[in-house]
Structures are given as structure tokens and as C-alpha cells.
Amino acid sequence: MLAILKKEINSFFASPIGYLVISLFLVVTGLFLWVFEGEFNIPNSGFADLAPFFQLAPWIFTFLIPAITMRSFSEEQKTGTLELLLTKPISTLQLVLGKYFGALVLMIITIIPTLIYVVAIYQLGNPVGNLDIGVTIGSYLGLILLAASFIAMGIYASTLSDNQIVAFILAVLFCFVFYFGIDGLASYTSPLITNLGMQTHYDSISRGVIDSRDVIYFVSIIAFFIYLTKNTLEKKR
């Protein structure tokens, strides 16, 4: 698994992909938070608060993460190297986890530079330092769990087609339905189904209260899609 993990990380940073992902995320969030007029603009809001960043990030992840994961197994299927990988002396689960953690490491590296926003908000507070650290830590944990869940969905989508564009569209669809779609459906049916959607659990963690039920929800989503990925690959053996 470690060999696959290292190979994935090296492939991200041996090409422009890794640097492009990090730069794109920082540029887009920076423009919306500090430059563009709108609901996400922090200086215009009058509050030294990072909430706009954590509201914006899921929208960006819905498209950015599928762009990262679409090549995971689609490319291997198209080039014929998937059969070779499946004959290696590693289990299917180890192969999936190697690909999964490679993408997760890239996303964590992408999120880390946004800590500069925390420093900026800390300095902008009145008085300086007027920042709820508990809420900030909870929000970052929620963001990482959300990214981890989206990655699991994206990895699974990449096993369903050898066409990277198809894999990208499927991954966007999965992410959108689980984060935005279920909450939207709840407004027309029963509010009880909001607990099945990611947004409710993400918002809960972002309030700084780390409830084990929210963590278990995200871990379950990750495990479920990794299981689906493993089963799909085993059928291709």
C-alpha cells in the first residue's frame, strides 16, 4: 500500500497537477473571501469570522476533488495497467487505500496554506485575537472529513468508466447529491432525511461541537464507498 501511496503522491507533484490544485484552491478562495463583492467577502461583512470560507469550500471541493480523482482508476483501465496492478502481490483493498490516501494527502496539503486566513482573521479581530479557536478547529476537522468523503466517492466513480470525463461527471454528481441534494430534497419531503446528508453533519462539526455521531457518519460514508470500489475492482480481476 505504501508503494502505491508514494507513487500517487509522486505522480501529483512530478506533474503540474498537484501545484495546480493547490494554487487553484488558494486563488479561488482568496478572491471570493477578500476581493470579489458578495456574501463570502469577509472585509465587507464587518465580522472577523472564517465562516464564509467554510461555506465556500464545499462548493469548490464538489468540482476540485473529482478533477483529482477522475484519473485514479480510469486512466489505469484505459492504458491497460489496471490488470497489471491487480496481479501485483497486494490485496485489492491495499490498492484502493493507496490511491485513496494519495489523494487525501494532496488535499490536506492544499488545505494547510489556508491557515494564513486564520492568522489574518486573528489580527483583524477587535480586540486582536477575538477568534473562537474551538469553532475554527471543528470547522477544519469537518472540512477534512468532507474532503475525505468526496475523495472516496471520486475514487469509486473512477472505477465505473475508463473515460476520465465520465468519471469526473459521476463524482460531481455523487458529491452534489450527498452534500446539497439530500438537504434540498428534505425541504420538499421530510426534514428527518437531512441526517442522511453531509451538510447537516458538516455544519454540526463546524459549530465547534465534535459529536461522535457526525464523525461516525463521515467514516461510514468513506468506508461504504471504499467497499464499493474494492468490490468493483475485484469483479475486473
Question: What residue numbers bound the domain in which 15 lies?
Answer: 2-232
pLDDT in tens, 198-229: 999 999 998 877 889 999 999 999 999 999 99
Which ranges in the chain belong to alpha helices (H)?
2-14, 16-34, 42-45, 51-69, 74-79, 81-86, 92-111, 115-124, 133-159, 164-176, 182-186, 198-206, 212-235
CA 84 to chain centre: 29
Between the alpha carbon of residue 115 and those of residues 58, 66, 110, 119, 202, the distances in Å are 17, 24, 10, 7, 19
Q: Which residue has the higher pLDDT, 127 or 95?
A: 95
Q: Which residue has the higher pLDDT, 8 or 106?
A: 106
- The number of folded domains in the chain is 1
**pLDDT score at 50:** 87
Instruction: Give the span between the Cα atoms of 131 and 77, in whole angstroms.
Output: 48
Contact 218, 197 (CB under 8 A): no
Short-list 95, 142, 53, 140, CA closest to 237: 95
pLDDT in tens, 19-31: 899 999 999 999 9
The answer to whether residue 237 is domain-embedded is no
The answer to whether residue 159 is domain-embedded is yes
Q: Copy the grid coordinates of residue 196.
A: 442522511
pTM: 0.93
Between the alpha carbon of residue 17 and those of residues 120, 169, 222, the distances in Å are 28, 19, 24
The answer to whether residue 178 is domain-embedded is yes
Contact 33, 53 (CB under 8 A): yes
pLDDT in tens, 150-191: 999 999 999 999 899 999 999 999 999 999 988 878 777 766
The confidence band for 236, taking pLDDT boundaries of 50, 70 and 90, is confident
Average pLDDT of the residues in 40-66:
89
pLDDT at 57 over 90: yes
